[in-house]
Amino acid sequence: MTDISQDKSALQDDHGPDYAPGTHPSLPPPSSSVGPIHWIRVNLFSSIPNILLTILAVWVLWATIPGLLNWALFDAAFQGDSRSDCRAVAEGACWAFISSRFGQFIYGFYPVELRWRVDLAAIGLVMALVPLLFDKVPYRRFGLYFAAAYPFIAYFLLMGGLGLEPVETSKFGGFMLTMVIGVTGIAVSLPIGIVLALGRRSDMPIVRVLCVVFIEFIRGVPLITLLFVASTMLNYFLPPGTTFDLLLRVLIMVVLFASAYLAEVVRGGLQAIPKGQTEAADALGLTYWKAMRLVILPQALKISIPGIVNTFIGLFKDTTLVIIIGLLDPLGIGKAALADAKWQGLAAEVYIFIAILFFICCFGMSRYSLYLENKLHTGHKR
Amino acid sequence: MSEAYASQMQVLDEVAIRIQNMHKWYGEFHVLKNVNLTVNRGERIVICGPSGSGKSTLIRCINRLEEHQRGDIIVDDIELTNDIKNIAEIRREVGMVFQHFNLFPHLTVLENCTLAPIWVRRMPKADAEEIAMNYLEKVKIPDQALKFPGQLSGGQQQRVAIARSLCMNPRIMLFDEPTSALDPEMIAEVLDVMVSLAESGMTMLCVTHEMGFARKVANRVIFMDGGEIIEENEPEEFFNNPQSDRTKLFLSQILAH
Amino acid sequence: MAVAESHMDQGFTFSKLWRDKRYRGVLMQILVIAGLFAFVTFIVHNAIENLAALGKTFGFAFLNTPASYDINQAFIEYDSRSSHFRAGLVGIINTGVVAVCGIVLATILGFLFGVLRLSNNWLVSRLVYCYVEFTRNVPVLVQILLWYGIIVNSLPTPKVAAADHGIWDVIFLSNRGLYIPAPVFGDGTWLAGIALVIAIAFAIFFKIWAKKTQDATGKIYPVFTINLAVIIGLPLLAFAAMGFPLTWEIPELKGFNFKGGAVLKPEFTALWLALSLYTAAFIAEIVRAGIQAVSHGQTEASYALGLKPSWTLRLVVIPQALRVIVPPLTSQYLNLTKNSSLAIAIGYMDIVATIGGITLNQTGKEMECVIIVMAIYLAFSLMISLFMNWYNKHIALVER
């Protein structure tokens, strides 16, 4: 069909053949306005500034990519027992360092023979998350039950007890610690955040003021000061003689921190729900809590999910701050390893490895949030 | 009676817009097919047709909001090419009113009207404001001059949009479905303004489904479908004796209610 | 309860306390206050007992004792005999310096990248997209450490840098920082200073005059170009008239490090670069969203009126986009300032590293130090949000 019309357009002179009104066929566009050459012209060379930009971009690529690839891949050493081993083989990156410490980067100082428990917990996490995050999963109902039970399962798997050999939290480290802090942080802070958001919109002035003060206080100080509170001050506020685990103290602070940010996200969602919904719920005779649970919150949470995911991404990135008070997340492991005389001076390798690790997780999450946003938008457009 | 009324308005023998063998594509999609149209100065043309027939695209080509790929468009003896100077010159002479008003929300009604005269015509502020107030009076909302567009009703906003275009003293006015985003009770106030504009002898091209307006002021009604001009005729003839089946179908659909 | 009862409606019953909406609200609030009071009493009591058990007291007198540690970047007079208070002041100034420098660079880069992201040049827009996504999704602390690691580990020592001649033997990039020649202004510099003041005064006057002239006659002057030329040109002319009374103090290798010249220390540079690049990625997204929030119809209407693209941008798009951009932009500024607290990880002596770090460890005044640091950040946050509320009120579009 295309061929025929192309023939016609080839035959056509300036005026074209006369068609009776309403019978003009669709012709293919002139070759100068479609196709790869047209695309290149419009997207890369449409004007003088555009050409300059293209040249600049090509120069940037040319100046960075080959050097980077050389350093990271072609001229890199993947095996060896020390930095000098690497240098003997290649001039570029020394990835042997990462592979030699890979176990620590992932599990921290968790006993090697018990690492299977961490693996199991990670598999469980995936199984719990899939039915939570995607709504078209077979047997979603059972998945959700599993997700509800998961925190307890994970607790015993990681900490031991119930016949499993106990492991102290000071042995937690590496990427596993990141996941523990991140997942606990978001799971516990979400309900607190919702309560805070409702409190901030409550008609009870005292409750409202308290919530506002709490939220604004937490949002006004850097997380690191809260971590200082966890590491140095929190014990002062407990009855004399009680001490508890640093990881737990950090978790409390992370939860408080995340809940303040989540409260603001959820508040945004609540504000977006039209007043008619509350009025309709009132008209149906629902009590405040019933109206919230059955009508308002499901809608508000649904539209705040992208914001919640973004908060989680932020929290996930912020877990790296725990190195400042001495916990050994991947960054802490990396810093400690850099102090090893055998491997000194390999900061770039370590931090780039960690950067890629975090990038994969965070970028994945941001794609998920984008997917949700698109889904929400199509939902609203009917 | 309405016919007589329409013919009172003078049509000059001078060509305002000439479109010859014009084609336009959106990517692979052939939107406008071999369009030929000549508009004389003082003529008032109503373009109608089902949605997606290319009627909006056609008038947007006239002030180069859309680019055509083949054929010629000559406005006021200036040919539309990629030459920025020509485009600028044509846009100065051609006013346009949009379906969604597109008033500038950060400027007051008066500032909306004076923006282009001050920056394009390089008019002293006082003169521009005087002209703006003059046109705001013509569209019957001089008292809203210091308000912001967000404070006005849809009908008022559209009248401001018309005044804003008129402040540039254009020789041709394009209307792209000016009433289709309005509530029914506001359509009349906008149409009234358009009728009085027609009476003043303005060359007008209106994409609209307001057939009453077409009967009252148009010299010619053009029916488009599938990117082509299917039929063009004087309003009486067009409504009472449509030639093509597609026109008949279309008219029966929009006049049914 | 008896007192309360006398004020209530005649039909009061105890069941009303939780059935009647009004009473229930009051009851709830009383419970919340009581709970809060109990909680505060509990922790204050614990804190007092714990402090007593450790033989510590609560108070800020330690701020007047000598700090006895060095700070390598101090913009006010400071040595190890200065007080902790002064150390804190140095820390605040250092926080301010890196925050302001970071905000300036992040804003410039962020706006540039945001606009480039929208450019119709496919390659550039993709490139910026990669930059934005990569930078946003990597923790800023990792980026700070990465930059610091690169500067300290991968750059040559001063000795090697000097042997390599740097750039024309005047600029040296080494693992001790970036050393550049420091300008030493000679006698005639005052004239250039005066010229600059005159040029700025002229620029302001000219802008007002041009606006008035445009209002009166319609004539449009290229105000920005002329003013830029005057502000750069006039001082330069004055400087030339005095015969360029400028000498450069060039850094020289003395022992293990350079002496003389101006220096960007590795800690500052790493923190500055990392914070700016990280925040720039977020600002780029804000700018992109802000410009995209101005509907296509606005530019079309402006074009249809005959305004050329540059004026459309200036008169129609930017004023509207700014309303969308500024609120999240200020919160990015706030984030950058809070993130500057990560300075402690690489030993840049900001307020967290001085008061919250060394002072805290030396004096053992954990509570006092953390309170001071928190209060400073809170004060800053409060100022920013006050500004934001003011701005939002002033610039919000008037709707019905």
* Sign for the pseudo-dihedral over CA of C112, C113, C116, C117: negative
Instruction: Write out the residues of chain B at the interface with chain A, using a CB-CB cutoff of 8 A.
Output: 21, 23, 25, 27-30, 33-34, 69-70, 225-231, 244, 246
Contacts of residue A311, Cβ cutoff 8 Å, sequence gap at least 6: A186, A258, A261, A262, A265
Pick C398's closest partner by Cβ from B125, B151, B168: B151
**Minimal-distance CA residue of chain A relative to B53:** A22
Mutate which of B98, B104, B110 to disrupt the C interface (most C C-beta within 10 Å)?
B104
Of C15-19, C223-227, C311-315, give the lowest mean pLDDT range: C15-19
User: Hey, is the C-beta of A213 within 8 angstroms of any chain B C-beta?
Assistant: no
**Beta-ladder partners of C182:** C249
Q: Chains with ≥3 Cβ pairs under 8 A against B?
A: A, C
Q: In C, residues 25-54, which contact A (CB 8 Å cutoff)?
A: 25, 28-29, 32-33, 36, 43, 46-47, 49-51, 53
Contacts of residue A139, Cβ cutoff 8 Å, sequence gap at least 6: A131
Looking at residue C171, its pLDDT comes to 80
Tens digits of residue pLDDT in C145-195: 999 988 888 788 888 877 777 777 778 888 888 888 887 877 777 888 888
Pick A220's closest partner by Cβ from C148, C342, C377: C377
Q: In A, residues 56-115, which contact C (CB 8 Å cutoff)?
A: 56-58, 60-61
Residue C126's pLDDT band (boundaries 50, 70, 90)? very high
Residue C3's pLDDT band (boundaries 50, 70, 90)? very low
Helix (H) or strand (E) holding C178: strand C177-180
Cα angle A145, A148, A150 (rounded to 5 degrees) comes to: 105
Domain ranges of chain A: 96-110+167-376
* Helix boundaries (H) for chain B: 2-8, 55-62, 84-93, 109-119, 125-138, 154-166, 184-199, 211-217, 235-240, 245-255
Q: Name chain C contacts of A60, Cβ cutoff 8 Å.
A: 127
Task: Provide the greatest CA pair distance for chain A.
Answer: 99
Mutate which of A33, A41, A47 to disrupt the B interface (most B C-beta within 10 Å)?
A33
Quote the CA–CA distance of B140 and C295 in Å, as a whole number: 28
Task: Enter the CATH code of domain C84-139+268-394.
Answer: 1.10.3720.10
B233 three-state secondary structure: strand
Token pair 């949470």: residue: A301
Residue C16's pLDDT band (boundaries 50, 70, 90)? low
Contacts of residue C286, Cβ cutoff 8 Å, sequence gap at least 6: C110, C114, C325, C328, C329, C332
Q: Name chain A contacts of C47, Cβ cutoff 8 Å.
A: 236-237
pLDDT of A26 above 60: yes
Looking at residue C11, its pLDDT comes to 58
Quote the CA–CA distance of C295 and C292 in Å, as a whole number: 7
A95 three-state secondary structure: coil
Report the CATH fold assignment for A96-110+167-376.
MetI-like fold (1.10.3720)
Looking at residue B47, its pLDDT comes to 94
Tens digits of residue pLDDT in A302-329: 888 888 888 999 999 999 999 988 888 8
Kindly report the nearest CA distance between residue C308 and chain B, in angstroms: 7
Instruction: Look at B230 and A27 and tell me if their CB atoms are within 8 Å.
Output: no
Looking at residue B3, its pLDDT comes to 45
Domain ranges of chain C: 2-53, 84-139+268-394
Kindly report the nearest CA distance between residue A241 and chain C, in angstroms: 9
pLDDT of A203 above 60: yes
pLDDT of A351 above 70: yes
Q: Under a CB-based contact definition with an 8 Å cutoff, are residues C78 and C70 in contact?
A: no
Give the A:C interface size as CB pairs under 8 Å: 167
- ipTM reported for the complex, 2 dp: 0.90
Instruction: Look at A363 and C137 and tell me if their CB atoms are within 8 Å.
Output: yes
Instruction: Look at A46 and C124 and tell me if their CB atoms are within 8 Å.
Output: no
Tens digits of residue pLDDT in B155-175: 999 999 999 999 999 999 999
Pick A21's closest partner by Cβ from B27, B29, B231: B231
Instruction: Look at B104 and C400 and tell me if their CB atoms are within 8 Å.
Output: no
